[in-house]
Amino acid sequence: MRTKIVAGNWKMNKTYKETKALVKELDHSIKDVTLSNTRVIIAPTFVNLQKASKMTRKSVIEVAAQNMHQLDSGAYTGEVSAPMIKAVHVNVVILGHSERREYFGETDALLAQKVDAALKNDLEVIFCFGEVLEDRKSGNHFKVVERQIKNALFHLDSEDWSKIILAYEPVWAIGTGETASPDQAQEMHAFIRELVAERYLSDVAEEVSILYGGSVKPGNAQEIFSKTDVDGGLIGGAALKVDDFMSIIKAI
Ligand code: PEP
């Protein structure tokens, strides 16, 4: 059975003190929820990773990094590497978020290197991809998503895929309040699963969790999560409010 996942991407939000408060509240609230075959992941900023990791050591909540450098160490001012993330007991990293692609120029080729570095260091990867509005309008969305996945992930071996979580995030739906309809999400997720099945064995495709991201809120989560090929969500804005994030977790 595929694992369901609700992951919160906190982006560049929450100071140290605010991180402590939010983790504490989440951990408290989640104790009342029965999670069956479901993982809950939060991704605070780098400076707060160690604290969040320590605070959740005995919790069902897992912690992820939002990015990492492709090399293990060196003269790369301002960067953070996979071994540094692992050293604070964080085992998951988000790679390829559209904000990294758009504002920091991350290409498919660079992401392929980052994926390799993450796997080499035994980090699980939440790999994000998705089309911009013009691609959707011109009907190129399948082609774009296919290219992003092929270029960054299709050099991997079948066994590597146990460490890959896919996150389809149409860029036009991120932080805009606009969501892909549940049918649009299902259509793309089924396409992605088929793509993986064609390249690898069908059990790789059947096992990989594919999350949807883009303005998931308490009001639309249940309908989106009800779709066959949607295995959970990558949540931005709504992950910063305990009540909203908990409602989304309960909707899975
Ligand atoms: C995201 O940034 O991954 C995201 C899905 O953001 P939001 O939920 O705010 O659209």
CATH architecture entry for 4-251:
Alpha-Beta Barrel (3.20)
Distance, CA 107 to ligand 1 centroid (Å)?
A: 20
Distance, CA 129 to ligand 1 centroid (Å)?
A: 12
The model's pLDDT over 151-197, given as tens digits with 9 standing for 90+, comes to 999 999 999 999 999 999 999 998 888 888 999 999 999 999 999 99
Distance CA 223, CA 225 (A): 6
CB 218 within 8 A of CB 186: no
Q: What pLDDT, on the 0 to 100 scale, is given for residue 178?
A: 81
Q: What pLDDT, on the 0 to 100 scale, is given for residue 176?
A: 84
Q: Please state the domain extents for the chain.
A: 4-251
Proportion of the chain above pLDDT 90, given as a percent: 96
Proportion of the chain above pLDDT 70, given as a percent: 100
> What's the whole-model pTM score?
0.97
The enclosing H or E element of 225 equals: helix 218-225
Q: Kindly indicate the confidence band of residue 41, based on its pLDDT and cuts at 50, 70 and 90.
A: very high
Distance, CA 99 to ligand 1 centroid (Å)?
A: 10
Supply the residues annotated as catalytic.
97, 169
The answer to whether the CB of 169 is under 6 A from ligand 1 is yes
Distance, CA 6 to ligand 1 centroid (Å)?
A: 12
The answer to whether the CB of 175 is under 6 A from ligand 1 is yes
Q: What pLDDT, on the 0 to 100 scale, is given for residue 179?
A: 85
Q: What pLDDT, on the 0 to 100 scale, is given for residue 1?
A: 85
Buried b (16+ CB within 10 A) or exposed e, 132-147: beebbeeeebbebbee
Q: DSSP state, 167? A: E
The model's pLDDT over 56-79, given as tens digits with 9 standing for 90+, comes to 999 999 999 999 999 999 999 999
Task: Name the phi and psi angles at 223, rounded to 5.
Answer: -65, -40
Q: Which mutation among 217, 235, 248 tests ligand 1's pocket best, with the greatest number of atoms within 8 A of CB?
A: 235
The answer to whether the CB of 233 is under 6 A from ligand 1 is no
The model's pLDDT over 115-163, given as tens digits with 9 standing for 90+, comes to 999 999 999 999 999 999 999 999 999 999 999 999 999 999 999 999 9
For the chain, give the mean pLDDT: 97
